[in-house]
């Protein structure tokens, strides 16, 4: 058995995590003006380089806003955030997403999967569709929920690729961390066989190039995950 190398977080990472936690917990409300970089560096006992790079990262994540002649303020990350914001929220919550975030991700996934399935049925080669079966086999043989979730993501990403749209796979991949978290939780709640059955049904419809059937099935199984008998967020 091999063990992964351990590494300590950098001072910048610790700086970012502390401010993220203060913002997400409400200790730093929206609109709060932060002290100057020199003061932050002195109070947190880090260099100004650490503070500067940390503030830049938090700004990129939508947590902070730099206002000319006013300094740095806490931003409304719900309006200014991006996928990096969502990942930061997941990390703050110990990898667990809340009800609203999960529902929102599944609704976006439904729209993307409709597009990916339609393009795959219309434009993918038979060989391209057969490649999806490899991910399905890995899913069925997965020893645990995490490995099954990785295989499920591989299936979805390959589905986006074989349709020939150059942007859809990039969007899919940008959602990888939260999607992996969702399907890991799904497998924990309902078992790997449930995920395999859902994917096998979609795969069969794709191979048959049944556009209407695939669209109906995508709506059906994702609606079950959103508000039906296989909800993912019931205990979040």
Helix (H) or strand (E) holding 74: strand 71-74
Alpha-carbon separation of residue 100 from 26, 36, 79, 177, 226 (angstroms): 18, 35, 15, 17, 10
pLDDT higher than 70, residue 4? no
Report the alpha-carbon angle 143-144-149, nearest 5.
115
Q: How far apart are CA 22 and CA 14, in angstroms?
A: 12
78 and 118 assigned to the same domain: no
Residues in the chain: 236
Task: Verify that 78 and 110 share a domain, yes or no.
Answer: no
Q: How far apart are CA 32 and CA 88, in angstroms?
A: 20
Q: Does residue 3 fall inside a structural domain?
A: no
pLDDT tens-place string over residues 92-113: 776 666 777 788 888 888 999 9
Taking the C-alpha atoms of residue 192 and residue 195, their distance in angstroms, rounded to an integer, is 5
Q: Are residues 104 and 41 part of one domain?
A: no
Residue 235 has pLDDT above 50, yes or no: no
Kindly state the DSSP code that residue 33 receives in the 8-state scheme: B
Answer with the residue of higher pLDDT: 124 or 177.
Answer: 124
Token pair 């991910």 is found at 135
- Counting the structural domains of the chain, the total is 2
Which value, in Å, is the radius of gyration of the alpha carbons in the chain? 21
Residues 21 and 106 in one domain: no
Is there a domain that residue 236 lies in? no
Q: Which of 54, 85, 116 is the last residue of a domain?
A: 85
Give percent of the chain with pLDDT exceeding 90. Answer: 66
Domain span including residue 124 = 97-227
Per-residue model confidence as pLDDT tens digits over 43-93: 999 999 999 999 999 999 999 998 877 889 999 998 888 878 877 887 777
Burial of 90: CB neighbours in 10 Å, binned 0-12, 13-18, 19+: middle
- For residue 90, the surrounding DSSP H or E stretch is helix 83-92
3-state secondary structure at position 35: coil
* 105 and 211 together in one domain: yes
- The pLDDT value recorded for residue 7 is 66
Q: What is the Cα–Cα distance from 210 to 117, expressed in whole angstroms? A: 10
Contact 203, 136 (CB under 8 A): yes
Collapsing DSSP to helix, strand or coil, 191 comes out as: coil
Same domain, 64 and 111: no
The pTM assigned to this predicted structure is 0.72
Among residues 85, 117, 141, the one where a domain terminates is: 85
Contact 159, 168 (CB under 8 A): no
pLDDT per residue as tens digits for the range 196-218: 999 999 999 999 999 999 999 99
Same domain, 152 and 40: no
My answer on whether 75 and 105 are in the same domain is no
Do 114 and 201 belong to one domain? yes
234 secondary structure, DSSP code: T
Question: In this model, does residue 230 exceed pLDDT 90?
Answer: no
Residue recorded with tokens 């393009």: 119
């Amino acid at each position: 058995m091999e063990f992964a190398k351990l590494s300590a977080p950098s001072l910048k990472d610790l700086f970012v995590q502390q401010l993220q936690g203060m913002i997400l917990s409400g200790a730093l409300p929206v609109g709060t003006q932060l002290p100057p970089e020199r003061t932050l560096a002195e109070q947190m006992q880090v260099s100004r380089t650490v503070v500067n790079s940390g503030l830049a990262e938090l700004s990129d994540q939508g947590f902070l806003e730099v206002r000319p002649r006013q300094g740095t303020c806490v931003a409304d990350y719900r309006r200014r955030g991006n996928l990096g914001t969502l990942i930061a929220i997941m990390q703050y919550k110990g990898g667990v997403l809340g009800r609203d975030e999960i529902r929102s991700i599944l609704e976006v996934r439904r729209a993307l999967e409709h597009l990916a399935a339609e393009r795959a049925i219309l434009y993918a080669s038979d060989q391209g569709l057969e490649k999806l079966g490899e991910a399905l086999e890995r899913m069925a043989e997965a020893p645990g929920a995490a490995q099954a979730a990785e295989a499920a993501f591989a299936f979805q990403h390959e589905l986006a690729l074989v349709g020939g749209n150059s942007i859809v796979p990039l969007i899919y991949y940008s959602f990888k961390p939260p999607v992996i978290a969702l399907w890991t939780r799904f497998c924990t709640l309902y078992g790997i066989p449930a995920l395999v059955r859902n994917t096998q049904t979609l795969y069969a419809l794709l191979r048959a190039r049944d556009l209407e059937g695939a669209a109906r099935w995508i709506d059906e199984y994702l609606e079950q995950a959103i508000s039906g008998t296989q909800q993912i967020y019931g205990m979040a």
